[in-house]
Structures are given as structure tokens and as C-alpha cells.
Amino acid sequence: MEFTWPVMLSAVLLVPILAIGYRWLLRRQQRAAERFADAPLFAQLVVRPPVWQRTLPVVCYLVAVLLLAVAVARPVAALPLPVNRAAVVVAIDTSRSMVGTDVAPSRFEAARAAARAFAAAVPRTTRIGLVTFSEYGTVLLVPSTDRAAFGEVLDRLQLQSATSVGAGILEAVRILPGREALLRERLHRLLRPGTPLPPANPLEPVPSPEDLPPASILLFSDGVDNVGPNPYEAAQVARDGRVRIYTVGLGTPGGVVMQVEGQTVLVPFEPSGLQRIAQMTDGRYFASASDEELRRVYQQLGRVIGWERTRTEVAFVLVGVAGVVLVTGGMLSMIWFRRVP
């Protein structure tokens, strides 16, 4: 325990001074009473309560003074406090196939709307990040509690070409707390094959899987994958990093035929890969981004509470305890002696 104003601890000296003063006052009262009667007669006239009964209320007052004297010094202690340790990365497919209108108004707009609804529904203390993936994965926001920033980044998303579900998963895993330090070699090998591995940060310890905070990925896609790292290898990396992947399939069976840039094309929908990814990581696959399905996502992700030691001023605790002790001493004195010293 530390003190913001340690000089105020000198107020603790009031306790022995008050105790000595109380003892002197008792002796003075006794000598004054003995002057009115002989010792044998005084013992018969005056009935004294037990010593502990006379002393206990005064001890309560002295303890209260001691607690208040310490509180004046503003003590600070590292207390275990409950915190929401959960982190979620929303990964959104921004490939051209997301223009499909078999999910109104389009797969892409449905994904954005669902991501906004998710950010609004989960507890404010849950950290949320954002990753997009097309030809490669792009980190747009590391997990934070800043919902305004999340909404602003979400509004600026643009569709691109190709789809790399694996890259989206790997980038999402990389920005989750503790995962890059634990999985850096595998992440680098899959994301940047053939390039040298940069040196590790000596100041960042490598955590054990058991020490990692809870983390999940919420992935919106139509399931089409045609470039980049193998999505199932990426899912295995996520599993080894204790990251669950919840996938939301955006599309209808068989896909949709529509006009794209003056040409009639089939925009496919392939949910089987998304189902397998969710199964590999102990997550869950959801067949749509409807409000009902999203509520199930929220229930699955939940709120994970952990305990962390936080430096907190505890003067209010001491003041509260002092008040209770002071009232207790006063009540005992009223019950036993019909007065409050």
C-alpha cells in the first residue's frame, strides 16, 4: 500500500494521545468519587460494570479515529477488480462477389449493417477490432472500446477484387491480444511466405495459451475463396491461439444471377467452407445476418469477466468502515450506559 499524502500519517499519533487522555480522565473521576465515602462504603454504593464492557465502546472510537487518520493520507492499493477481458475482431469480406443481391439490399450492405448492430449490442467494455479481406487481409482497427471509430471505419469500406478468407482470419488473429507473440512464426509464414522473419520484441514476453485473454472472430462472407493462404490452415492457427471463429454466411443456396458491369454473371455462395472453419475452432456457423441469428451470436460470444489488479485509492473504504465502527461504539454505549462518551 502507498499513500498520496504520507505526511498526513502523523495524525495517527492522535490515537495514543486520546487513549492516554481517556485513562487519565477515568483516574481523575475515580479519585473525585472516593472523596465522598470511605473505601468499604464506596464499594457497596457503586456497582461497576465489567472492564471489557467499559472499554469496548472507547476502543471502537479509537479504531474509528485510527481509520480516519489513515484515510486522510489517501492510501492507494492494487485491488483485484472485475474487468471485461473479451476481444472480438469483425472480419468482413469486401470481394466483388459481395455485390450479390440475394441478401437485401446486398451481401456487402447486410454485412455492414450486421457489424453495426453487433457493436451496439455487446457490452461497451468489450474491445472490437475490424479487418477486411479481398486479395489480402487489411487491419482497419485494432480491438478497442471506441465505438465511434469502429462506425467511421465501417462507413468507409469499399469493394475490391478476389477473396482470401485465410488472410482475413490470419490478420484478425494477429491483432488479438497476445496472439502475435505466441504465433508469430506461423503467422508470418502464412501471410508473407518467402520473406525473412523480423526479430521478436525482447520486451514482449511470449504468453502461454492458458494466459491468453478470451478472443473471437466474427466473420461475414459468402464463402467464396480463390486466393491467398489456405483458410483451413489459418483456422488451425486460430484454434491453436485459443480463438473461436463465428462465421455468418451471406447468400442463398445456388447463388444469384445478376447484371454486373453490363454482363450477366452468376454470383456464387459457398457456405461449406465457413461451416468447416467454425467447426474447427469450436465456433458456430450462422446461416444469415438476420436479427434473430445475430442475437444467437451475441449469446455465444457472451461477456467474459476476468480479474486484474488495478491501483485504486481506498480512502473511501476506510471512511466507510470507520463510520460503521463509530456507530457501533455509540450504540453499545447507549445500551449499556445510557450515554455517548
Q: Where are the domains of the chain?
A: 2-77+314-337, 86-303
Q: Coil, helix or strand for 238?
A: helix
Separation of alpha carbons 327 and 57, rounded Å: 10
β partners of residue 133: 93, 137
May I ask the CATH class of domain 86-303? alpha beta
For residue 105, cis peptide bond before it (omega within 30 degrees of 0): yes
Quote the crossing angle between the two packed helices 271-280 and 165-175, to the nearest 10°: 30
The pLDDT value recorded for residue 248 is 92
> Would you say residue 47 has pLDDT above 60?
no
Separation of alpha carbons 114 and 126, rounded Å: 17
Q: Coil, helix or strand for 260?
A: strand
The pLDDT value recorded for residue 77 is 82
Q: Among residues 104, 113, 78, 107, which one has the least CA distance to residue 94?
A: 107
Name the residue with higher pLDDT: 20 or 140.
140
The pLDDT value recorded for residue 23 is 81
Neighbours of 216 (CB within 10 A): 26
Separation of alpha carbons 131 and 142, rounded Å: 8
Rg (CA), the chain: 34
Q: What is the pTM of this model?
A: 0.68
β partners of residue 258: 265
Are the CB atoms for 129 and 146 separated by under 8 Å?
A: no
Separation of alpha carbons 90 and 118, rounded Å: 9
Residues 228-272 pLDDT 10s: 999 999 999 999 999 999 999 999 888 888 877 777 888 899 999
Neighbours of 34 (CB within 10 A): 12
> Would you say residue 41 has pLDDT above 60?
no
Percent of the chain residues past pLDDT 90, beyond the cut: 38
> Would you say residue 309 has pLDDT above 80?
no
